[in-house]
Amino acid sequence: MKKLLYVMLATLLAGSAFADSIKERQEIFKQYKPVVGNMGKMVKGEKPYNKDEFAKLASELEALSQKPWQHFPAGSNKGKTEAKPEIWSKPTEWQQAIDNHKAATAKLKQVSANGDLAAIKVQFGATQKTCKACHDSFRQKD
């Protein structure tokens, strides 16, 4: 009986840990939206381009790109999540998508420092492609 209680407690704790992981990564991804949105408005000319503001946003995006990945432990595909099982069944491809995104955001941060809007537009587009590639392969569609 005691062993059964331990198993049940361990199962409950694991479920709670997975729920926390899901919540953590979702909160980080929510932070992407205003950052990328404001950058996109400047790149598209919907908002006046401001070199310093864009560089600050690029720096924020690069910092965000380092954060969510630790919150995808094995088993955290259960519950309210849009994560596809391929994250865990294709770890090499998943890691490559993460690495591509981190590299693209780092390069965007670097390119934005010089203020060349034409170069920024190119790299912003390349960065967005890394987001789309990951969503296409590793995120469930609505």
What tens-digit pLDDT sequence spans the chain (142 residues)? 555 433 333 343 344 455 789 999 999 999 999 999 999 999 999 999 999 999 999 999 999 999 999 999 998 888 889 999 999 999 999 999 999 999 999 999 999 999 999 999 999 999 999 999 999 999 997 5
The pTM for the full model equals: 0.85
Structural domains for the chain:
2-61+83-138 (1.20.120.10)
CB contact burial 56-75 (16+ within 10 A = b; e otherwise): ebbbbbbebbeebbebbeee
Integer Cα distance of 91 and 4 in angstroms: 33
